[in-house]
Structure 1
């Protein structure tokens, strides 16, 4: 099952029984505005899990290790021109 389909199912069937209404509303909004459009651009199988973990503000603490690992070898942007 593609992640977008699972997310739709989870938000409709599982989340309402486990989350407060305001939290559910927030999750639905983030899903609609950020997660699903990102899946549409990248495809649900094309991106490694760390891609989504790094972009999630609510799970930053839990995903910090994955973010560090996925960006460890990427050059840092310093704002300075190369010598």
Structure 2
């Protein structure tokens, strides 16, 4: 397998991983919203939110790793074997 094929394969898998990560993030957010709504309805307070907090560093780690994989794939595509 030459560098171009390996780079294109890594690039395609990186984009596929990005789609999966985005879908999982949206699913997690909708589950949190649903739990908050149900908690408000069951308690009778009418509140439809729960305080979850967020860890910005951990939520951005997949993005940084995907950018690293994309940059490696671009390097492999442009790198000429001599």
Q: TM-score, normalised by structure 2?
A: 0.30
Which of 1 and 2 has greater Rg?
Answer: 2
Higher relative contact order (CA 8 A, sep 6+): 2
Higher helix share: 2
